Amino acid sequence: MRTRFFPILVGFCGIVMLLRLFSLQILSDEYGDLSLKNSVLKQYVYPERGYMFDRNGKLLVSNQPMYDLMVVPKNLRPFDTLDLCTMLRLTKQELNVKIAKAKRYSMRAPSVLLNQISKQDYAALQEKMWKFPGMYIQRKSVRAYQTDVASNILGYISEVNYFDMETNPYYKRGELIGRQGIEKTYEEILRGKKGVTYLQRDKFSRIIGPYKEQKLDTLPTPAQDITLSIDIDLQEYGTKLLANKRGGILAIEPSTGEILMSVSTPTYAPNLLVGRERSENFNLLKQDTLNRYLFDRSLQGQYPPGSPFKVLNALVALEEGVITPKATFTCYSGHFYARNQFMECKCKPGSKNNLDRGIHNSCNTYFSNVYRRIIDKDNNAPEGINTWHDHLRSFGLGNYLGYDHPVGQSGYVPNANFYNLWYPNQRWRGATTVSNAIGQGEILMTPIQLANVAATIANRGFYYTPHFVKGIQGDFIAPQYKTKQYTTISDEHFIPVVEGMANVVKKGTARIAAIRGIEVCGKTGTIENFTKIKGVRTQLTDHSMFIAFAPKDDPKIAIAVIVENGYWGGRWAAPIASLVIEKYLKGEVKRTWLEKRMINGSLEAEYAKVTSNEPFEINE
């Protein structure tokens, strides 16, 4: 027994040791990660974010260096706080709060003391950095906008949040992501793909060389530049014209579907969302619920389309064969569409209107009759309205158009189900829903849908899905933007409608939109609208609306303009559209008097009525 004791002890210890090694090296898998964390530094190499150009090659968005003041609290020594505070325009309390925050985060790891210091402040600060031990400056790249407009199109970038990192493991803390606009849609193209370098670190965290002979390293994939379809001069001009007014302009090149401009006012300069004041500015913009700076009226604004919708009704009626261009209806400054229900019209009593006169005089009576003929075609209102609905859907109404911008609204086109819910037992007919005839009923459209309708009519029956990008690194664009989308309306029916629209400008409601030497086709709209003030439904001054395309033959531009509470269409929207068309087609504007009136005209007084807490008059 005595002689056995020692060998047994040796064996026993051997087995204990073996079990321990087995659990350390085979069973537990935490140590591999720990050793990597310890000794391998994973460094990302970021490609420079892609630039954006306008359709004429003008640089819109580039990058600029910004500087973060970093602090490692453990290395801090007493320093001249007053000097630092004056340079950075901080109070001592603010500085102390920031340092305390950094200490709470980590004593050894660096944290940002003050982010996004401008180039000017950096120059001053850099000279004196030696006075502030424990602090250093870290360079980073942020966006630089070469324009003061188009913030609604370009969007902005911001640091990734927890949710971004959860949904896309590509992103790591502190990285930037396109948050809105083109920056968001084309994030992966503008971003490129970061590369990785692995470095071997020693116990003092010094880099002692590459890890595994750089076999695991990857090179960054460079970002690509994007050429936008917008014309920045036009965008600027449109923004100027809409100054002090709330509204939107959206213009499309009909032959390609390229969006030439997308103005929404009031707007903000994109550079406001760069730099240290970013979050402050962002909150100001976001919290303004009256001006709604971050709301893109040209893409997100849903309005009843008003009279421009009449041309769509005309097209549907022609296609359905319920009218001919020559058929006339008599208007008595309006008409009774049901017992005691009179719809007013601006025509002289007794005017006989055919399609052409109906359009250019914007006759409500004419289009009410046309609409009722469509809906009650087979004395079956649900079927009639569904047919009408399907035709409209083929113009992209009631749905997102599929353009390359993350914001938008679908608008709305009612169908039979909708009215069946409102009026059970099918107790409804064309006359019941007659407001749709003049674009005032349940229909909602966004300016981009209106502009797209104008482009479709300009193309006489088809459209390309509107898009903001002309080319990615050259001229590549996604194939869906090169496919013609045909409507359900035959080509020949567009001819009389286009004539009517041409006469709107020649002798109808938008004579002010006429441009010397260019045949403009358009349609005005004057849109009744309501809001709730303290829970009471209150009518406001009508919206001014205009859609147009020009020239009549071989159209180069299709446009929709809405000026909120601008009263009638010819008052604001038509002149603005006309000026934009003139600027785009001729390069310069001759009608400076009109231009001046538009630029200087303000509707602020009109908007102030809503919040004035006093009774007010509308349409004055």
Partner 1 sequence: MNKLARFDWYSLLLYVVLVGIGLVNIYSALYNANDNSIALSYMQKQFISFGLGIALILIIQFFDTKFFERYASIVYLFSVLSLLGLWVFGTEVSGAQSWYSIGGFSLQPSEFAKVAVALALAKHLGDFNTQIDRKRDYIGAFVLLGIPGILTLLQPDAGTALVLFGFFFVLHAEGLPSFFLLGLVSFFVLFILTLFVGVYWALVTVVLSGCLYVALQSKRKRKKAIFPTLVAVLFFGGFTYSSSYIFEEIFEQRHRDRFNILLGKEVDAQGIGYNINQSQIAIGSGRFSGKGFLEGTQTKGGFVPEQQTDYIYTTVGEEWGFVGTFVVLVLFIALILRIVRLAYKQKTTFARVFCLGFACTLFIHVAINLGMVVGLVPTIGIPLPLMSYGGSSLLAFSIFLGIYLRITYQRIA
Contact residues toward partner 1 (CB under 8 A) are 2-3, 5-7, 9-11, 13-14, 16-18, 20-22, 24-26, 28-32, 34-36, 38-40, 200-203, 208-209, 211-212
Q: Do 210 and 232 meet the contact criterion of CB atoms below 8 Å apart?
A: no
CB of residue 134 vs partner 1: minimum separation in angstroms?
20
Q: Which is nearer to partner 1, 5 or 530 (CB)?
A: 5
In the bound state with partner 1, the residue whose beta carbon lies nearer, of 20 and 484, is 20
Yes or no: say if 34 and 208 are a contact pair by the CB < 8 Å rule.
Answer: no
Q: Which is nearer to partner 1, 2 or 339 (CB)?
A: 2
Nearer to partner 1, 173 or 203 (CB): 203
427 alpha carbon, distance to own chain's centre: 41
Shortest reach from residue 16's CB to partner 1, in Å: 7
**Smaller CB distance to partner 1: residue 13 or 219?**
13
Cα(558)–Cα(547) distance, integer angstroms: 8
- The residue whose two tokens read 């010819």 is 570
Cβ closer to partner 1: 28 or 96? 28
CB 52 within 8 A of CB 60: yes
Cβ distance to partner 1 smaller for residue 200 or 529: 200
Q: How far is residue 518's CA from residue 549's CA, in Å, rounded to a whole number?
A: 10
What is the rounded distance in angstroms from the CA atom of residue 208 to the CA atom of residue 203? Answer: 10
Contact 222, 549 (CB under 8 A): no
Cβ closest to partner 1, residue 163 vs residue 204 = 204
Tokens of 168: 């896309």
E strand map for 10-94: 40-45, 52-53, 59-71
Smallest separation (angstroms) from partner 1 to the CB of 6: 5
Question: Given the complex with partner 1, which of 13 and 495 has the nearer CB atom?
Answer: 13
Nearest to 301, CA basis, from 288, 292, 313: 292
How many other CB atoms sit within 10 Å of the CB of residue 47? 17
Count CB atoms within 10 A of the CB of residue 331: 25
Q: Phi then psi for 561, rounded to 5 degrees?
A: -130, 135
Task: Tally Cβ neighbours within 10 Å of residue 577.
Answer: 32
Question: Which residue's CB is nearer to partner 1, number 29 or number 617?
Answer: 29
Q: How far is the CB of 483 from partner 1 (least distance, A)?
A: 54
CB of 110 to partner 1, least distance (A): 18
- Minimum CB–partner distance for residue 211 and partner 1 (Å): 7
- The nearest distance, CB 38 to partner 1, in angstroms, is 6
Rounded to an integer, what distance in angstroms lies between the CA atom of residue 438 and that of residue 367?
A: 7
Token pair of 236, please?
A: 């600027």
Are 248 and 237 spatial neighbours (Cβ–Cβ below 8 Å)?
A: no
Which residues are CB-neighbours of 1 under 8 A, at least 6 positions away?
none
Minimum Å distance from CB 24 to partner 1? Answer: 5
Q: How far is the CB of 1 from partner 1 (least distance, A)?
A: 9
Output DSSP code: residue 50. P
105 vs 336 by CB, closer to partner 1: 105
Q: Which is nearer to partner 1, 8 or 97 (CB)?
A: 8
In angstroms, the CA 364 to CA 333 distance is: 9
Q: Min. distance of Cβ 73 from partner 1 in angstroms?
A: 16
CB of 75 to partner 1, least distance (A): 17
Residues facing 57 on adjacent strands? none
What distance in Å separates the CA atoms of residue 213 and residue 211, rounded to the nearest whole number? 5
Can you tell me the distance from the alpha carbon of 138 to that of 13, in angstroms, rounded to the nearest whole number?
A: 54
d(CA 11, CA 281): 74
Minimal distance, residue 77 CB to partner 1, in Å: 22
Give the full edge-to-edge strand order of the sheet including 40-45: 40-45, 195-201, 207-210
Minimum CB distance to partner 1 smaller for 148 or for 217: 217
State the alpha helices, DSSP H only, in 440-588. 447-458, 494-506, 573-586
For the bound state, the minimum distance from the C-beta of residue 100 to partner 1, rounded and expressed in Å, comes to: 23
Distance, in Å, from the CA atom of 450 to the CA atom of 308, rounded to the nearest integer, reads 8
